[in-house]
Chain A
Amino acid sequence: MAESKNILEIRDLHKEFYIKGQQFKVLSGVNLEVKRGEMLAIVGASGCGKSTMLKLITTLEPISSGEILLDGEPVNGPSPKCSMIFQEARLFPWLTVRQNIEFVIPDTVSKEKKAEMVDYYTKLVGLSDFINAVPNQLSGGMQQRVSIARALATRPELLLLDEPFGALDAFTRMTMQQEVLRIWEQDKTTMIIVTHDIDEAIYLSNRVVIMGKNPGVVKKIVPVDLPFPRDRTDSEFLKIRGEIMKEFLGT
C-alpha cells in the first residue's frame, strides 16, 4: 500500500466507561479524517470526550468499538509515529533538559546523533541556553516547550496536543501559540490540538472540529482558510468565531 494520504482515520469510534457498574457513553460514533501535514483543532465543552479521543489514539485507553487507522494501519499499542503532549509538561524533575529529551529517543540511535537531535530540537523551541537546566529552574511555558521538543525528538508523523497551554497564563499562552505555529510551519508535522479556547483553535488550525456532548460526536467541522499569521481582530476571523460560537450556544 502506498503512503496513505490521511495520517489518521477514525471510523465509528465508540467509548464507554463504567463507573460503579453504570455505563457512561463518552464517544458515540465519531468519524474523522486527518490529512498529512494538517493542523487540526478539536473544541468542545468539557466532558465531550475530546481528550479521551487522544487517549484512544495513543492507546492509553482501550477503545470500546470502531476503528482508528494511523497511517493506514489500525493502532495496536503506542506507535512511534505518534507523540502526545499533555496539559502539564510531565518532565522528569531529576533530569536536565538535555537528558529529558534524550530519554525518549530510542537507544538504537547513536550517542552523537542523539546529542545532535537534542541540540536541534532545543534550538527549535528556543531553549538552547537552558539545555543543562533542570525543570524546576524553568517557568511553566519553558517546561511546556521542553515537552514539545521531547515529543518532536521522536520524529512523530502525528503530534497530539491535549490542552497544552491550558495551565499557562494568557500572555505565555499567546507566545506559545505563535511558537507552535512556527514549529509547525518549519517541521510540517501533522498536529491535532485539543483545546477549550475557540480563539486558539481558529488562530492555529486549518480545520476546527466541534464536538458535542452526551453523546460525544463530531457536530461540525469548520474550515479556516485564512493566511498565517492570523489576526484575532480580523473580520473573517471573527466571522468564523461567531459561527463556532453559534454551535456551542445552540446546544
Chain B
Amino acid sequence: MFNLRSKNSAGQRRTLLCIAIVFPILVILLWQYASSSGLVKASLVPAPLTIAKTFVSYIESGKLWKNLSVSFGRVACGYLIGALCGVIAGFLMGLFKPINAALSGIVSVLRPIPTIALVPIVILLAGIGFVSKVVIIAFGSFWPVLLNTIHGIQTVDGKLLEVAYTYRIPTGKTIFKIIVPSSIPAILTGLRLGMSSAWMSVVAAEMIASSTGIGYLITLSRETANARVMYMCVLVIGVIGLVIDKGLTRLEHYYLAKTRGSVDGK
C-alpha cells in the first residue's frame, strides 16, 4: 500500500480521487440514514437533508447573507489591523536583535493564549461594541503573521548576504532589496494563515453581545435549541474557511510563479 515512489501512476491517482469523493458521500448517506431512521435523535443530530433545507431557506430569506456580510466586515477590519501589526512587529523583531530580545519573552507568553480566553478581558477594556470584536479578531490573526515574518527575515540566505558584502551594498539597500524580498514567501504564508485564523476567531468575537453575524446565529440557535441552524452555521464557517485558505494559497503560488519563475515544484 505504502510506497516510496513519490509520484503515483495516473491509475492510482484516479483511484485515490475516487476514494476522496466517494468516502465523504458515504459518510453523509450514513448520517442521513442514522438520523432519519431514528438511530440518533434528529433534534440533536439533524439529518444532512434537513440542514440543507435550512441552508436554502436562510439563503432565500437573505438572513444568512445579512449575517455573513457583517461577519466579513469585522474579519476584514480585524485582519487588516492584526496583519499590519504582525508584519511591522515581525520586521522590527527580525531585523533588530535588541527589540527581539525585549519582546520575545512577552510574545512567548501571549502567543499560546486561545483567543476565546481573551474575550472577558477585552470586554472589560474595550466594552461590547465593534471595537472589541475587531480586537479579538486582530489578536487571532496577529500571531501567524508575526511568527512567519520573523522566520522569513531570520532565514534569509547567508550566501546572498555574502554577495551583498563583497559587492559593498549599503545596509539600507541590503535590508530593503535583499532581506525584505527574500522573506516575502514566508510573509505570504503568514498572511494566509493569519486570514484563516481571523476567520476562526470570528465566532469568539461575536460571542460578545452581538445581534448580527454568523457567530451570533450560532449563539442564538444554542439559546433557542435550534440544532438545524447550529449545524448549518458551523458547516458554512468551515466551507468559507476552506475557500479562503485555498484561494489565498492559489494567489500566493500565482504571485511567486509570476515574479520568480517556477517555484521548483513547491
Contact = CB atoms under 8 A, between A and B. Distances in A.
Contacts of A86: 159, 162-163
Nearest to A94: B181
Contact of B167 (A78, A94, A137): A78
A83 B164 CA distance: 11
B239 interface: no
Interface in B78-95: none
B165 to A, nearest CB: 6
Interface string B153-182: 000000110110111110000000110011
B259 interface: yes
Given A93-B260, A134-B261, A136-B260, A83 B166 contact: yes
A220 interface: no
A92 B259 contact: no
Contacts of A90: 159-160, 162-163
Contacts of B169: 103-104
Contacts, number: 53
A136 B261 contact: yes
A154 B181 contact: no
B184 interface: yes
A78 B168 contact: yes
Contact of A88 (B159, B165, B184): B159
Contacts of A136: 260-264
A122 interface: no
A94 B160 contact: no
A92 B178 contact: yes
Interface string A156-175: 00000000000000000000
Nearest to A60: B162
A44 interface: no
A94 B165 contact: no
A49 interface: no
Interface in B230-266: 259-264
A30 interface: no
Contacts of A60: 162, 165-166
Interface residues of A, number: 22
A126 interface: no
Nearest to A55: B162
Q: Which of B166, B178, B262 has the most CB atoms of chain A within a 10 A radius of its CB?
A: B166
Q: Which of A80, A86, A103 has the most CB atoms of chain B within a 10 A radius of its CB?
A: A103
B167 A104 contact: yes
A144 B166 CA distance: 17
Contact of B261 (A80, A83, A104, A135): A135
B182 A94 contact: yes
A154 B166 CA distance: 11
Contacts of A41: none
Interface string A54-95: 000010100000000000000000101011101010101110
A84 B166 contact: yes
Contacts of B260: 93-94, 134-136
Given A94-B182, A136-B263, A83 B167 contact: yes
Given A78-B167, A78-B168, A92 B181 contact: yes
B160 A92 contact: yes
Contacts of A88: 159
Contacts of B264: 136
B263 A58 contact: no
A60 B177 CA distance: 21
25 contacts: A60-B162, A60-B165, A78-B165, A78-B166, A78-B167, A83-B167, A86-B163, A90-B160, A90-B162, A92-B181, A92-B182, A93-B260, A93-B261, A94-B182, A94-B184, A103-B167, A104-B167, A134-B259, A134-B260, A135-B261, A136-B261, A136-B262, A136-B263, A137-B262, A154-B167
Given A104-B169, A136-B261, 5 more contacts: A86-B163, A90-B159, A94-B184, A94-B259, A137-B261
